[in-house]
Structure 1
Amino acid sequence: MVSAARFTGRVALITGGGSGIGRAVAVRLAAEGARVAVADIRYDTARETAEILEEAGAKALPLAADVSDEEAVRRMVAATVREFGRLDVLHNNAAALGREVYGRDLDLTHMDVEVWDRTLAVSLRGAMLGCKYAVPAMRDGGAIVNTSSVSGLLGDTDHAAYGSAKAALTSLTRYVATMYGARGVRCNAVAPGLVLTDVARAVMTPERLAEKAAERVLPHAAEPADVAALVAFLASDEARCITGQTIVIDGGTTTHRPEHAIRQASTRLSFQK
């Protein structure tokens, strides 16, 4: 059972909080005592998350916000402070993961430039704008946690826009940490690998899941709750001396040389014979 002590009296704002990792973080922080503003580009999903928190006895505020829109971000932060009186934690989690953007982020030489622009507008500019308006609102210091990705640390054969945005987000994390550390604001990032969100479960074939399993050192893939636990730690006072860091949470996928996956696959095939 999660203790309610770490975030009692504190206020958290989560972007992309309508589903997946964002929803899991909202549930986790609320369970530990936070009052939570849940922002999403779709108000209906933000409302669903807020209702889950309220049913569990927490105070929640659903907000509609396109984080690539500066005025929308300004209003989002202002509404949070107006409702709860303060802001202590910002989780920049929103990303453009729909088929119309992420699904078209394939071969770079054939990419529509609007796919590139929209990806960076949400994942990178959105996080920058969140920091721009959240930092002044964090009167007593605070914690910012950005959702990066292992895609920002490695190359791949597709999703260059997404990976580039996440790589830049890692750099932004260090800059924000350096600029505002003296006033007590910490900024870190989490870099997940495969996370079994509802969307991931719906779109990944058994063959693709097997490939991902071969890449990992650990036998299990991450669930949204695993990432939420890491975000909660980084946002808490237990991490008061950690800032400017990007913490990988990928089951060991990036810990080894590529031949590990080949050996894993070969071992599995030999057991099946």
Structure 2
Amino acid sequence: MRFAGRAALVTGAGSGIGRACALRLAAEGAAVTAADVDPDTAAETAALIVKDGGTARAATADVGDEDDVRAMVATALAAHGRLDVLHNNAAVLSPDVYGRDLDLTEMDVEVWDRTFAVDLRGAMLCVKHAVPHMEAGAAVVNTTSVSALVGDTDHAAYGAAKAGLVSFTRYVATMYGARGIRCNAVAPALVLTEAARRAMTPARLAEKAAERLLPDACEPEDVAALVAFLASAEARCITGQTIVIDGGTTAHRPEHAIRQAAALPRLTR
């Protein structure tokens, strides 16, 4: 019960990594505000926590909107009276934005702006309105991505916004370290959320397996375990860091993945 008597706010908590993190923090004693742009999924996460004997409140917020963020933080404080953990997990992954984040020469600027509004400005707004209510021993954890650390042929807006989060993490850690507030980030590769399982073909899963050094892909609960550690007092000497959780995907030369892929059975998309 590392978070007994403490309160956490998780954005993007309606599904996937965010839901897993909200459940993990609650299971370890935190009173959780589960926030999401979708009120129904936020309510589902809060209900799951309460069903398991925890304390939770749902909140609805588009983190790219400052008024929404201000109201979300106020909801968390009204529900639990304090704020000890802020997990900036919200990101825009909808088909109308992430699905159109393709070739830069043909990208609508609205795709770029919306991605940055949620993925990067959203984290800034949450810090802006949450940190004034946080005391020594509190922690901020940002969800970035290995897309922030490597290049690809699509999703440049997503990767660039997540790269901004890596730098933002260092700045928050530097600005508020003297107050005893830590800030770190987690950088997952493929995580087998329900949405990822629906979207990934067998061929694509095989390609991802070839990229990894370890045999198993990460589950949302794996990321939640890392987030809970970074938010806890056990990580009291860790701040300003981005921790990669990718099964070794970014730890090796490309030749390894090429050899692995060549050894796999041929699969069609």
Please give the TM-score of this superposition, normalised by the length of structure 2.
0.98
Deviation at 1:140, TM superposition (A): 3.7
Instruction: State the match for 1:236 in structure 2.
Output: 232
> Match of 1:69, as an amino acid?
D
Corresponding position: 1:139 with 2:131 = no
Q: Secondary structure at the match of 1:145?
A: strand
Contact (CA 8 Å) 2:6, 2:30: kept in 1 or not?
yes
Which residue of the partner structure matches residue 213 of structure 1? 209
Task: After TM superposition, give the deviation of residue 269 of structure 1 in Å.
Answer: 4.6
Within 5 A, what are the aligned runs for 1:13-162? 13-162=9-158
Distance 1:149 1:266 in 2: 27
Structure 2 CA distance, aligned partners of 1:269 and 1:19?
33
Give the secondary structure class of the aligned counterpart of 1:189: strand
User: In 1, distance between residues paired with 2:99 and 2:166?
Assistant: 23
SS in structure 1 at match of 2:262: helix
Shift of 1:79: 1.2
Gaps of 5+ in 1: none
Q: Please state how far the C-alpha of 1:268 moved relative to its aligned partner.
A: 3.0
User: 1:10 matched to which residue of 2?
Assistant: 6
Q: Which residue of 2 aligns with 1:197?
A: 193
| Cα distance, 1:83 vs structure 2 | 1.2
Given residue 192 of structure 1, which amino acid in structure 2 is its aligned partner? P
* Alignment check: 8 A CA contact 2:135 2:181 kept: no
Q: Secondary structure at the match of 2:264?
A: helix
Offset from partner CA, 1:33-77 (integer Å, 9 cap, x none): 000000000000000000000000111000000000011101111
AA at the equivalent of 2:52: A
The percentage of counterpart residues that share the same residue type is 71
Q: Is the 8 A contact 2:135 2:180 kept in 1?
A: no
Q: Within the alignment, does 1:256 sit opposite 2:245 as a pair?
A: no
Query: Which runs of 5 or more residues in structure 2 are unaligned?
Result: none
* SS of alignment partner, residue 33 of structure 2: strand
Task: Determine if the alignment matches structure 1 residue 267 to structure 2 residue 263.
Answer: yes
d(CA) in 1 for partners of 2:137, 2:232: 12
SS of equivalent to 2:120: helix
Q: How many residue pairs align between the two structures?
A: 266
Matched, 1:173 2:169: yes
Report the TM-score, using the length of structure 1 for normalisation: 0.96
Name the Cα RMSD after superposition. 0.9
The match for 2:160 is 164
Q: Deviations over 1:192-216 (max 9, x none)?
A: 0000000000011000000000000
